[in-house]
Amino acid sequence: MSDQPTIAAKAPAKVTLQAGKDYWFCTCGKSATQPFCDGTHKGSSFAPKKFTAEKDGDSWLCQCKHTANAPFCDGTHKSL
């Protein structure tokens, strides 16, 4: 079994988050509801990353799954 995440897309997803709300970020790359977890990781070595939004508004969440600043896009997708 590979420990490399699947690249869901080589571009981030723009999502509107609510301050104080918890979200589950997909780290395996196989979720059909990117950038969030849909449970597809089960049976793999991956687990979703829970995070709490700090502010209301739009954020760009990583879909290439190679960011060093999960769940946020850090531009790494450009070098894949």
- Binding residues vs ligand FES (CB under 6 A): 11-12, 62-64, 66-67, 73-77
Of 27 and 63, which CB lies nearer to ligand FES in the complex structure? Answer: 63
Contact assessment for residue 10 and residue 21, using Cβ atoms and an 8 Å cutoff: no
User: What's the min distance (Å) between Cβ of 70 and ligand FES?
Assistant: 9
Residue of 59, 16, 18, 42 lying closest to 26 (CA atoms):
42
User: What's the min distance (Å) between Cβ of 41 and ligand FES?
Assistant: 17
Number of neighbouring beta carbons within 10 Å of residue 9? 14
What phi, psi does 29 have (nearest 5°)? 90, 0
User: What's the min distance (Å) between Cβ of 73 and ligand FES?
Assistant: 3
Of 11 and 47, which CB lies nearer to ligand FES in the complex structure? Answer: 11
